[in-house]
């Protein structure tokens, strides 16, 4: 590797923080890790795979919590301000990464840090204060127990008003499986219980102020590539019109018309008052202003004016989870419930889905409670009970899988590998369904977002009902998504850019001799290393499955009579992946991908 090719992280290091020893150490990123995993998700996955012993408790001091940015973070590459949190999930037991936008990632890079590794656990609440080259572990007792909005304000006042904060709320402190990490008061690294791991380490927040300039390998080449990428964003109707005007809630009516908007805990795929909770209605009734994350020309973020105050969002997934999933059509209430989740530090997708599961348990006579579909009574209070781990909130805070099993109806938990499935009924989209089943982190729509081609016709149109060719398409999107997560750029760019576009900007930024083919190979390497991690944790073929509900047809709507045909697609998926019949990567594949073979 030439000097120019290594300059990506010549200004950035891995910051190791031993919380029990109160020891802070900076180390350079090994060149082989940089070359093979780039940064972000890939680098975090590699560090976890190499350093975590199999079978550890995710909430024990032995687990690592990693914050990482990518090769293009804080450069001119569009959407380059994101960060990713990587850990072993208490919700799923799998390897896990959770992403957030905002401005924290860019400041972290400008503070000279590419990766923060938190090990061990503090005896007392602390927060990390990073001020360019200076790093301190500070007492957080004054903000322990505070909501995320209050915590953010107090820590900025104590450090630097221009700094950026990531923090947990009461949910993280109480180590519930649905706990998120919040930044900018309303952006969330929401899924998988990453906030619970942060709480287990008694880390309330990380505050960072970075002002260093970021060098790139070939400024002129990068300028041209970025200019082209912005043209592509303006040419695509999703990134140029739909998302900027309506934000992510633009999907409510689109998905409902396809008969795939999960309603009443996925019992139906059509919500009768979808328009009342749509992006169009949010814009009409409550729009305050739009919100752009660092370096983002799309601007899908929304701030809403609710009862005299400005609140973040709500996003499409949050509207669905707190709305149609629970049969609720009150958009104002949904916005308030979303704000409550942000303040408490709770994942809206998982909590809404778990409450929907509880409502169906009540409906079927398996749980005695006042919860019922369409009724908001007591739910705001229940969200606090979940965050503070009290009453029924203790059980709900473990997630739908554990909750439904306790009440003798595991089939009513709409989850994969312990992670609640988001707002697309898989019976209406065969490729997306396979993506759910094979996701390394559990029920996730972003591992292989085939809603684009299967429903929205972008970047290409494919038949959503066909199973032929879907395994190959899922693998392509999974590998590309993994590569994007190593760069740590926004998934929405996927609507407008090709893999070669990503590779061109990456090469110009870093000097790495990388093209689209090699970028996809890096993505495949990360995907298979995650699979190896999960295999050694006991996950296998039986876990690549959907809940039994999706083998029964939807009763009505645009996806009427459809089911998910996972059994048809999974063998082909394994074969194309280069895995054996039990879903394990073969020695031949690992050698081809330069993954050290452990047998």
- pLDDT tens-digit profile of 116-167? 999 999 999 999 999 998 999 999 999 999 999 999 999 999 999 999 999 9
Q: Which residues of 332-357 are buried (b: 16+ CB within 10 A; e: fewer)?
A: ebbbbbbbbbbbbbbbbbbbbbbbbb
- CB neighbour list of residue 104: distance below 8 Å, 6 or more residues apart: 81, 83, 164, 165, 166, 183, 184, 208
For residue 126, the SS3 value is strand
What is the per-residue pLDDT across 85-126, written as a single tens digit (0 to 9) for each? 999 999 999 999 999 999 999 999 999 999 999 999 999 999
pLDDT of residue 457: 86
- Judge whether residue 244 has pLDDT over 70: yes
Q: What percent of the chain lies above the pLDDT cut of 90?
A: 92
Q: Does residue 3 have a pLDDT over 60?
A: no
**Residue-averaged pLDDT of the chain:** 94
Residue ranges making up the domain that contains 475: 426-592
Domain CATH number, residue 394: 1.10.569.10
Q: Per-residue pLDDT averaged across 250-256, rounded? A: 95
pLDDT computed for residue 6 by the predictor: 43
CB 148 within 8 A of CB 167: yes
Predicted local distance difference test score (pLDDT) of residue 10: 61
User: Are 374 and 433 found together in one domain?
Assistant: no
| Residue range 231-243, pLDDT digits in tens | 999 999 999 999 9
Residue 596 confidence (pLDDT): 84
Note the pLDDT tens digit of each residue in 51-82. Answer: 999 999 999 999 999 999 999 999 999 999 99
Cβ contacts of 407 within 8 Å, gap of 6 or more: 361, 366, 367
Domain boundary pick from 413, 434, 455: 413
Residue 221 counted as domain residue: no
Q: Are 94 and 537 in contact (CB under 8 A)?
A: yes
Residue 598 resides in a domain: no
Peptide bond into 578 cis (omega under 30): no
- Rounded Cα gap, residues 309 and 336, in angstroms: 10
260 band by pLDDT with thresholds 50, 70 and 90: very high
In a domain, 313, yes or no: yes
Rounded CA-CA distance 20/142 in Å is 20
Identify the CATH number of the domain in which residue 512 sits: 1.10.599.10
Residue 374 has pLDDT above 60, yes or no: yes
Q: What sections of 488-555 are H helices per DSSP? A: 499-510, 516-536
> In degrees rounded to 5, what are phi and psi of residue 114?
-100, -30
- pLDDT tier at 572 (50, 70, 90 boundaries)? very high
Q: Domain holding 135: CATH number?
A: 3.60.9.10
* Domain end marker among 209, 230, 259: 209
User: In this predicted model, what pLDDT tens digit does every residue of 314-355 receive, in sequence order?
Assistant: 999 999 999 999 999 999 999 999 999 999 999 999 999 999
Sign of CA dihedral 359, 362, 557, 274: negative
* Residue 159 counted as domain residue: yes
Asked if 255 and 323 sit in the same domain, the reply is yes
Do 76 and 195 have their domain in common? Answer: yes
What pLDDT is recorded for position 73?
Answer: 95
Residue 178, domain member (yes or no)? yes
Reported as type and span, the H/E element at residue 438 is: helix 430-438
CA distances from 388 to 171, 440, 459, 492 (A): 6, 29, 44, 34
pLDDT at position 234 is 95
- For residue 2, pLDDT beyond 70: no
**Model confidence at 11: pLDDT above 80:** no
Say if 463 falls within a structural domain: yes
Measured in whole angstroms, the distance separating CA 504 from the mean position of its chain's CA atoms is 25
Whether residue 531 lies inside any domain: the answer is yes
Write out the two tokens for 217. 């390998």
**Domain count of the chain?**
3
pLDDT tens sequence across 415-449: 999 999 999 999 999 999 999 999 999 999 999 99
Do both 400 and 442 map to the same domain? no
The whole model's pTM is what? Answer: 0.96
Same domain, 380 and 430: no
Taking 80 as the threshold, does the pLDDT of residue 1 lie above it?
no
pLDDT bracket for residue 391 (50, 70, 90): very high
Residues 398 and 435 in one domain: no
Task: Please report the pLDDT score of residue 449 as a whole number.
Answer: 93
Average pLDDT over residues 568-589: 96
**Residue in the block written with tokens 């322990």:** 144
Does any domain span residue 238? no
For helices 470-487 and 430-438, angle between their N-to-C axes, nearest 10 degrees:
60
Q: Which residues contact 83 (CB under 8 A, 6 or more apart)?
A: 67, 68, 69, 73, 99, 100, 104, 105, 108, 166, 189, 488
């Amino acid at each position: 590797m030439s000097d120019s090719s290594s300059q990506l992280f010549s200004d950035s290091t891995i910051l190791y923080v031993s919380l029990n020893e109160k020891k802070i150490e900076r180390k350079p990123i090994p060149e082989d890790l940089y070359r093979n995993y780039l940064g972000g998700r890939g680098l975090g996955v590699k560090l976890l795979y190499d350093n975590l012993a199999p079978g550890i408790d995710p909430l024990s001091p032995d687990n690592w919590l990693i914050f990482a940015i990518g090769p293009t973070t804080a450069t001119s590459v569009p959407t380059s301000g994101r960060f990713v949190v990587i850990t072993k999930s208490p919700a799923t037991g799998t390897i896990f990464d959770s992403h957030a936008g905002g401005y924290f990632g860019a400041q972290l890079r400008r503070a000279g840090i590419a990766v923060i590794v938190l090990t061990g656990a503090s005896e007392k609440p602390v927060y990390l204060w990073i001020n360019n080259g200076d790093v301190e572990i500070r007492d957080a007792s004054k903000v322990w127990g505070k909501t995320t909005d209050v915590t953010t304000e107090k820590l900025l006042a104590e450090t630097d008003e221009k700094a950026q904060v990531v923090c947990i709320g009461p949910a993280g402190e109480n180590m519930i499986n649905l706990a998120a990490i919040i930044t900018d008061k309303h952006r969330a690294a929401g899924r998988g219980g990453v906030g619970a791991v942060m709480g287990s380490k008694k880390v309330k927040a990380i505050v960072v102020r970075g002002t260093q300039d970021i060098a790139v390998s070939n400024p002129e080449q990068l300028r041209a590539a970025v200019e082209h990428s912005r043209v592509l964003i303006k040419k695509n109707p999703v990134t140029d019109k739909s998302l900027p005007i309506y934000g992510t809630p633009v999907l409510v009516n689109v998905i409902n018309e396809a008969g795939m908007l999960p309603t009443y805990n996925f019992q139906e795929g059509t919500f009768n008052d979808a328009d009342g909770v749509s992006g169009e209605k949010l814009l009409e009734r409550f729009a305050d202003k739009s919100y752009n994350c660092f370096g983002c020309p799309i601007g899908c973020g929304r701030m809403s004016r609710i009862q005299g105050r400005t609140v973040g969002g709500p996003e499409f997934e949050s509207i669905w989870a707190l709305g149609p999933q629970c049969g609720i059509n009150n958009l104002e209430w949904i916005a308030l419930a979303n704000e409550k989740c942000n303040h408490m530090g709770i994942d809206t997708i998982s909590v809404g889905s778990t409450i929907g599961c509880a409502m169906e348990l009540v409906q079927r006579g398996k749980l005695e409670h006042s919860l019922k579909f369409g009724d908001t009574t007591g739910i705001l209070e229940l969200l606090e009970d979940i965050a503070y781990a009290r009453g029924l909130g203790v059980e709900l805070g473990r997630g739908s899988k554990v909750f439904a099993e306790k009440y003798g109806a595991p089939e009513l938990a709409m989850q994969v590998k312990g992670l609640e499935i988001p707002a697309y009924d898989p019976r209406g989209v065969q490729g997306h369904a396979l993506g759910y089943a094979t996701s390394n982190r559990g029920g996730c729509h972003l591992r292989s977002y085939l809603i684009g081609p299967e429903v929205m016709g972008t970047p290409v149109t494919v038949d959503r009902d066909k199973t032929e060719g879907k395994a190959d398409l899922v693998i392509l999107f999974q590998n590309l998504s993994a590569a994007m997560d190593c760069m740590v750029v926004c998934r929405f760019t996927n609507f407008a850019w090709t893999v070669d576009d990503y590779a061109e900007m990456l090469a110009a930024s870093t000097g790495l001799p990388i093209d689209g083919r090699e970028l996809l190979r890096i993505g495949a390497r990360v995907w298979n290393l995650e699979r190896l991690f999960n295999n050694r944790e006991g996950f296998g073929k039986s876990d690549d499955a959907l809940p039994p509900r999706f083998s029964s047809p939807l009763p009505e709507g645009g996806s009427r009579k459809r089911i998910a045909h996972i059994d048809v697609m999974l063998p082909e998926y394994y074969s194309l992946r280069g895995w054996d019949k039990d879903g394990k990567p073969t020695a031949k594949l690992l050698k081809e991908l330069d993954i050290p073979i452990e047998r």
